[in-house]
Structure 1
Amino acid sequence: MLTAGPTAGEPCSALLHRNSFPEIESFQPLKISLYTAPMITNYLKEKQALVDRTIDQLLPPADVRPTLLHQAMRYSVLNGGKRIRPILVIAAAEALGKTTEEIIKAAVSVELYHCSTLIHDDLPCMDDDNLRRGKPTCHIQFGEANAVLAGDALMIMAFELLAEHGNSRLGLELARAAGSRGVIAGQVEDLAAEGKTPNADLVEFIHLNKTAILIQASVRMGAIAADATEKELEQLSRFGRKIGLAFQIADDILDEISTDEILGKPAGSDAEQHKMTYPAVHGMDTAQAKVRSLTFDAIAALMELDRDTSALKSIAEFLMNRTF
C-alpha cells in the first residue's frame, strides 16, 4: 500500500527512510520547496502551454505537402505529453536569470527530438506499442513507413532549430546525449536485455542512457543558454542526472502499479516484454526508496547554488510524487 508524503513539520530525512512510495492520489510539497502544490502545478501548465504554442507555430502546417508526413509529425508531437524536458530547459535558464525566445526554441528542440524517439520506440521492430499518450501510436495511425519518416523529420528539425540558435554548444549537447553513447545506446541495450536475467549494472546503464542522459542534457542546455558558470553547470548537471534516473525508476514502478487510462500507454508492458527494470532487479521497496534518495540528492545539488532554484526543486518533488 502506498503511503502519503511528508507531514507538516516532518524532516526531509524521515521520508528518505520510508519503505513505501509517496501517496499517488495527491502531491504534498516538501518543507524545502518554495512552491506550493497549486503553484508548481500552475507553473508546469504555464510552461507546457508556452511549449505547445511554440511547437504549433514551428511545425509545418498539416495542409502543406507532403501532407501525410506533416500530419504524422503534428499528431505525434501535439497529442499531449508532460513536456518535462523542455520545461527543465526553461526552468534551468530561469534559475540563472534568463528567458529568451531562443531559449524557448532550444527547449522545443529537445521535445521534438524526444518525440522522434517515442515514435521509433513504439514501432513493431522495437517495443511494438499501440498506445501513446492515450491515443493510437504514430505507426498505427499513419503506417510504419510514415512513422519512421516522421520520427526522422522531427529529429532533423530539432537540430535545425539549434543550428539557428547560433550557440554550437547546444547542438553538441543534444547530439552527445542522443547518439551511440547516449539514448541510442540505451535503446539498443534495452532491446537486447529483454528476457535476460536481471542485472543491476545493465539496468543502470539502460536507465542512464535511455532516459537520464536526455533529462540531464535538457537542464544543461538551459544552463548553457543562460551563460552558466562552470560551478553552476556542474551542479545543475548533477541535478539533471539524478532526477533523470529517478524519473525512469518511477516509470518502472508506475508501469507495475498503474493503469492504461492513467498512464496513457499500456500498463504492465514491461513485464509482458520481460524488460530489464529497476523493480525487477532490486524489488519494489528498493525501487521506491531509490526514487526518493535520488530526488533528495538532486535537490542537494541545487542547494549549493546561490540562485533561485525553487522551481527546479519543486519540479523534482512533483516528479517524485507523479501518478503518470
Structure 2
Amino acid sequence: MSHTARIERTLEAAVALAHAKDAAPGLAAAIRYAVFPGGARVRPQLCLAVSSACGGACADLADAAAASIELLHCASLVHDDLPCFDDADLRRGKPTVHTKFGVPLALLAGDALIVMAFELLGRAGADHPAALPSLLTTIARGVGAPYGIVAGQAWECEASAPMAAYHQAKTGALFVAATTAGALAAGADPAPWRGLGEGLGAAYQVADDLLDALGDSEESGKTAGRDQAMQRPSAVTSFGVQGAVALLESHLDQAAASIPECEGAKALRETVRVQATRLVPKQLSRTAA
C-alpha cells in the first residue's frame, strides 16, 4: 500500500469515530470538512518516508504518528483562519471551516482534532508501550509551548516577532516532529533526522511567504496578502522576492545534505529535489524559463 493510501485510510478511521449515531452532526461534519479533501499531506508523507528509510518497523505505529501530525496540522489551519487571527475565507481552495459552519463549530472542530490526534496515537501506542512516551513527547513539542505551533500563533499576538523564532514555531516545529517521529516509530535514533525537518520546514515557510506576497490564491488555495495586511515577519519583506527564492533553495539544499546515510537516503534526496521544483511559485518558474 502506498504512503498516501496508508495516510488516508488512517485519517478516515480516526474521523469516522466522530460520526457516531448519536453524535452532534454539525461538529462531525465540520471535523470531516477540515480534514477531507486534504492538501499534499506533506508532513505525514515525510513521517512515513523517514520511517521507511529507517527500516519501516511498526508500520501501524508510523501510520498513527503520521496521521496524528496531519490532524494537528488541520486543527492549526482551522484556528489560524478564525476571525480573531487571519479572518480568512479560503483554505485548500474552498471556504474556510468557520465560513461554512460558523465560528463556534470551527473552534470546537479544531479542539476536537487536537484531542483526536492524541487519541489516535494512544490507541496505536498501546501495542508499542516502549515507543509511545517518546512519540507523544516529540509530537506534543511540535504543537505546544514554548516552541510549537501554538507558540507560533502566539507570536502573532505580540507587537513584534523575530522572524526566525516565529517561522520555526509556526511551521518548522511540526516538520521536525514529522521527521523525528518517523524515526522513533521505526525504532531508530531521531536526532540525525532533525536537520531534514528543520530544512524542509524553513523552506515551506519561505515558499508560503512568496505565495502570500505574490497574491496567488489560486495556487496556494488560501487567502493571499495576509502577511502584509497583518504586518507579520516575512522572508519577502526582509529579502525581496529573489532573495526569498535564494533562501528557499538554500534551505532545500541543507535539507537534502542533512539526510543521514541509510537504505532510503537516495529516495529521500530525490523527494527533496521534487519538492524543490514544486515549492517555487509557478509564476516565478515561468519567469525563470
TM range (shorter): 0.7 to 0.9
Distance in 1 of aligned mates of 2:229 and 2:27: 32
- Give the corresponding residue for 2:267: 311
Q: Does 1:179 align with 2:144?
A: yes
Distance 1:61 1:148, change over 3 A: closer
2:197 to 232, 240, 252: 240
1:314 Cα offset (Å): 2.5
1:321 aligns to what SS in structure 2? helix
Contact map agreement 1:62 1:74 (CA 8 A) in 2: no
2:8 to 43, 46, 52: 52
- Give the corresponding residue for 1:7: none
1:83 to 29, 41, 46: 41
1:184 Cα offset (Å): 1.2
- Give the corresponding residue for 1:117: 76
2:218 aligns to what SS in structure 1? helix
Distance in 2 of aligned mates of 1:314 and 1:270: 31
The Cα offsets for residues 40-74 of structure 1, whole Å up to 9 and x where unpaired, read as xxx9xx43333122211221254631111111000
- Give the corresponding residue for 1:219: 179
| Within-5 A mapping of 1:20-169 | 46-59=2-15, 60=17, 62=19, 64=21, 65-98=23-56, 100-164=59-123, 165=125, 166=129, 167-169=132-134
After superposing the two structures, state which structure 1 stretch, 283-292 or 106-115, moved more: 283-292
Cα-Cα RMSD: 1.9
- Give the corresponding residue for 1:264: 221
1:267 aligns to what SS in structure 2? coil
1:125 aligns to what SS in structure 2? coil
Partner AA of 2:133 in structure 1:
S
The Cα offsets for residues 257-314 of structure 1, whole Å up to 9 and x where unpaired, read as 3522221111222223222111111222221111111111111111x42332233223
- Give the corresponding residue for 2:284: none
Q: Which has the higher helix share?
A: 2
Q: Does 1:279 align with 2:244?
A: no
Structure 2 unaligned spans of 5+: 282-289
Contact map agreement 1:235 1:305 (CA 8 A) in 2: no
2:169 to 200, 209, 215: 209
Partner AA of 1:300 in structure 2:
A
Distance in 2 of aligned mates of 1:103 and 1:131: 31
Higher relative contact order (CA 8 A, sep 6+): 1
- Give the corresponding residue for 1:288: 245
Structure 1 unaligned spans of 5+: 1-42
Name the count of aligned residue pairs.
Answer: 270
Partner AA of 1:190 in structure 2:
E
Contact map agreement 1:250 1:320 (CA 8 A) in 2: no
Superposition TM-score, scaled by structure 1 size: 0.78
Superposition TM-score, scaled by structure 2 size: 0.87
Distance in 1 of aligned mates of 2:151 and 2:83: 19
